[in-house]
Amino acid sequence: MEEQYNIQINKTENSRIGEIDFNNLAFGRTFSDHMFVVDYENGEWGTPQIIPFQNLSFSPALISLHYGQTVFEGLKAFRDKDGVVSAFRPEEHAIRINKSAERLCLPTIPEDLFLEGLYKLLEVDNEWVPKQEGCSLYIRPLLFASEEFLGVSPTPSKCKFVIFASPVGSYYSGAIKVLVETEYVRAAEGGIGFAKAGGNYAASLLPTKQAVEKGYQQLLWTDAKEHKYIEEAGTMNIMFQIGDTLVTPATSTSILSGITRKSVVALAKKWGYKIEERKVSVDELVEAHKQGLLKDAFGTGTAATITQISHIGYNGVDYELPPVEGREFSNRASDYLQKLKDGQEEDYMNWMVKL
Ligand SMILES: *Cc1c(COP(=O)(O)O)cnc(C)c1O
């Protein structure tokens, strides 16, 4: 990519990299040496900078703290077996943060600025991309209203865009038990469910906590109107295999359009599987299970890529799914994506952007 922005770089003199045990990385608690920052004020983006990772300081009147005007992204960079660093579909994340931003009345970020900031940060903090297999550098772009003001405003006079990064280990959790949620909702049609916004996460915490107390790891969210149709699995998109057809809820204003979901749908098509993006009702799943046709269920998302589901709880019954070993499609997709990121598979979809 041609550089268009003059990113100012101020490197730290005290790298923390020596303090990190890359063989024991806990998720999201250690951060790389630098961060990318750019401020929006008076209707325009200012000078982009890479600075040492540091605290930000604000008045308690920071409007995003009060009114939730904040959106984010999550993507990963990997180091392949030859040591080359690449990011998985970064342009998609640059596009999506702007869809989220528009819904929450935040200024959009020029895609090139997002990408240039990201690539420059990866260049400066290259050593932070783990070499260990299955590990990655998790990247968190964050955009929020940074005006200090108690009024509610669709045009905050100040906003901040930050990209910072955290080295993470492999996230494999084993197959999970999920519970169909029929009382609470994560997001309603017309709301902000499709945006990657903090408020959606806040809405999901209490119901998820209650499901965990009942022995499940995640919820299967249903539609807000009738609690009849499946929407997402926790903070992942969801896919089923009914007979020989893969089925995933069509995206809507209450479903986040995952880049992993989009990638898995594209792989299914490429590999010649039947795949449908449409409404999936809980009744359809129960009926398919009765007939022995519910072959697979799995969540998709950047954190764990593919998370297979072992049981679906609904109305006091735990519907058990076939053993994960025999699940052809989700194992194949999971394996392909893992190896692709480690540079052991051909990138025939052109998803990896090499630095
Ligand atoms: C981030 C997210 C996903 C997964 O999106 P990816 O782009 O695949 O990481 C799914 N659902 C929700 C609610 C999310 O926030």
Distance 237 CA to ligand 1 centre (A): 6
Three-state SS letters, 45-82: ECCCEEEECCCCCCCCCEHHHHHCCEEECCEEEEECCC
Instruction: Tell me what pLDDT residue 78 has.
Output: 97
Distance 303 CA to ligand 1 centre (A): 9
2: pLDDT strictly greater than 80: no
CA-93 nearest atom, ligand 1: 7
Distance 138 CA to ligand 1 centre (A): 14
Under a CB-based contact definition with an 8 Å cutoff, are residues 8 and 49 in contact?
Answer: yes
* Residue nearest to ligand 1 atom 10, measured at CA: 236
Instruction: Tell me what pLDDT residue 23 has.
Output: 92
Q: Which residues pair with 221 in a beta bridge?
A: 232
DSSP 183: S
Structure tokens at 303: 């954190």
| Per-residue pLDDT reduced to its tens digit, 7-24 | 999 999 999 999 999 999
Q: Which residues pair with 161 in a beta bridge?
A: 38, 143
| Per-residue pLDDT reduced to its tens digit, 217-233 | 999 999 999 999 999 99
Residue 19's contacts (CB-CB under 8 Å, 6 or more residues apart) are: none
Domains of the chain, start order: 8-168 (3.30.470.10), 176-341 (3.20.10.10)
Under a CB-based contact definition with an 8 Å cutoff, are residues 121 and 34 in contact?
Answer: yes
CA-302 nearest atom, ligand 1: 9
Under a CB-based contact definition with an 8 Å cutoff, are residues 145 and 156 in contact?
Answer: yes
Q: Which residues pair with 290 in a beta bridge?
A: none
For 132, the 3-state DSSP assignment is coil
171: pLDDT strictly greater than 90: no
296: pLDDT strictly greater than 70: yes
User: Which residues approach ligand 1 with their CB closer than 6 A?
Assistant: 74, 196, 200, 232, 235-237, 256, 258-261, 300-302
Residue 129's contacts (CB-CB under 8 Å, 6 or more residues apart) are: 77, 78, 79, 85, 122, 136, 137, 167
Please give the angle made by the CA atoms of 80, 304 and 300, to the nearest 5 degrees.
115
Nearest to 296 by CA among 267, 325, 337, 265: 325
User: Buried b vs exposed e over 184-207: b needs ≥16 C-beta within 10 Å?
Assistant: bbbbeeebbbbbbbbbbeebbeeb
| Per-residue pLDDT reduced to its tens digit, 40-68 | 998 999 999 999 999 999 999 999 999 99
What is the rounded distance in angstroms from the CA atom of residue 100 to the CA atom of residue 297? 28
- Choose one of 142, 185, 219, 256 to mutate for the ligand 1 pocket test, by most ligand atoms within 8 angstroms of C-beta: 256
Structure tokens at 318: 């735990």
For 115, the 3-state DSSP assignment is helix
Q: What are the DSSP calls for 188-216, one per residue?
A: -TTSSTTS-BHHHHHHHHHHHHHHHHTT-
158: pLDDT strictly greater than 80: yes
> What is the percentage of the chain residues whose pLDDT exceeds 90?
95
293: pLDDT strictly greater than 70: yes
CA dihedral 17, 19, 25, 31 (to 10 degrees): -50
- Choose one of 103, 200, 302 to mutate for the ligand 1 pocket test, by most ligand atoms within 8 angstroms of C-beta: 302
Instruction: Tell me what pLDDT residue 1 has.
Output: 67
Mean pLDDT of the chain: 96
Mean per-residue pLDDT, 85-109: 98
277: pLDDT strictly greater than 90: yes
Instruction: Tell me what pLDDT residue 101 has.
Output: 98
